[in-house]
Amino acid sequence: MHKLQAPAKINLHLHITGLTKQGYHLLDTSFAYVDVCDILHIDTAPDLQVSCSDPALNGEHNLVFRVLQALRAEYSVAQGLHVHVEKNLPAQAGLGGGSSDAATALMAANRLWGLHLTSSELTRFATPFGADIPCFLFGGASIAHGIGERLAPLELAPEDQYVVLAHPGVGLSTAAVFTYFDEGHGMAPGQLPPAELTPLGVKATMRAGLKGGAEESLPLGENVLETVSLQMCPELARMLAAMKQEQPSSWMSGSGTACVSLCDSAAQAEEMAERLAAGGLAAWTHAGKLLAQHPLHNSGMQPADWGVAKR
């Protein structure tokens, strides 16, 4: 039995640069992992079974099942896997929980089934199942374009960057947020976004520093979906207002409803998380720090350590 981590991600910024004729949003965004994870318990088996600590996500209701079923069919894999997903990340939060679970499961299956697919091959396979999955397959902090599948490294300086994550206990559908956004901005397939959605400049800097592939400055904390999500969810609006009052470098991740605050120390992060929970503003909090790499990439495990199965 293999016990593998599926970390949360945060969007360090999120801009929309257009809408394809097929209705996919074109993004300019950046991702970093945070040290809070779902846990996947995985073992080889004659069939494919996926269970979850949340019974609503058992079997075919879980993205892990769907991506593994498709991978197994695509490469004619005879063997299966038994996977149990231990959920620690809230749903509909903008932290990529389901996508992270799927990415960890794909990386595990690639090794356990002896497929030897490259990261690029896995990304091409996985992208149709979710635009956030590629950022978890990438292995480190990244800048993303296209629909999220075109990734480049984002350098995080080695110093620790402490963060607070908070979720109000109410989620928003990603599809609903994007639909509301499109309607509010007159977005139509094949159209560029209006001028007010262009980058506004850098709002904050991380203590750890941020440096893209061309060492460009990133508009840290800018999320064009934030206003829409705040309008849709009063609980989110109250929570984020309190976070920004205490720590100006606070913003919403993805389509919400989780938010992130940058902190100068572990103690500051823990105290802020405790206040948000005690005040009834957040139903779920995490005080931690950013990760330089995906835990699975960081583990140093090679295929030989996995008991690779024959296809």
When mean pLDDT is compared across 69-73, 172-176, 305-309, the lowest value belongs to 305-309
Q: Name the burial class of residue 234, with classes exposed (0-12), middle (13-18) and buried (19+) by CB atoms within 10 angstroms of its CB.
A: exposed
- pLDDT for position 202: 42
Structural domain boundaries in the chain:
2-157, 161-206+213-291
Measure the CA–CA gap between 171 and 198, rounded to whole angstroms.
27
- pLDDT for position 199: 46
Q: Which residue has the higher pLDDT, 143 or 185?
A: 143
Measure the CA–CA gap between 84 and 52, rounded to whole angstroms.
5
Percent of the chain scoring above 70 in pLDDT: 86
Measure the CA–CA gap between 33 and 136, rounded to whole angstroms.
8
Task: Name the residue with tokens 């292995």.
Answer: 139
- pLDDT for position 155: 82
- pLDDT for position 219: 85
- pLDDT for position 121: 96
282 and 87 Cβ atoms separated by less than 8 Å: no
- pLDDT for position 176: 95
What is the 8-class DSSP label of residue 170?
Answer: -
Measure the CA–CA gap between 44 and 175, rounded to whole angstroms.
34
Name 67's bridge partners. none
**Active site residues per annotation:** 9, 132
Q: Is pLDDT at 208 greater than 80 in this prediction?
A: no
Indicate the class that CATH gives domain 2-157. alpha beta
Residue 195 three-state SS: helix
What is the 8-class DSSP label of residue 208?
Answer: S
The predicted model gives 253-273 an average pLDDT of 97
73 and 83 Cβ atoms separated by less than 8 Å: no
Name 4's bridge partners. 40
Contacts of 39 (CB under 8 A, 6+ apart): 3, 4, 5, 6, 85, 86, 88
Q: How confident is the model at residue 216 (pLDDT cuts 50, 70, 90)?
A: low
Asked if 2-157 and 161-206+213-291 have one fold, the answer is no
How does 197-218 read in b/e, with b if 16+ C-beta sit within 10 Å? Answer: beeeeeebebebebebeeeeeb
Is domain 161-206+213-291 classified as CATH 3.60.120.10? no
pLDDT digits (tens, 9 = 90+) for 114-161: 999 999 999 999 999 999 999 999 999 999 999 999 999 988 764 689
284 and 273 Cβ atoms separated by less than 8 Å: no
Task: Name the residue with tokens 């089934």.
Answer: 113
The predicted model gives 225-254 an average pLDDT of 97
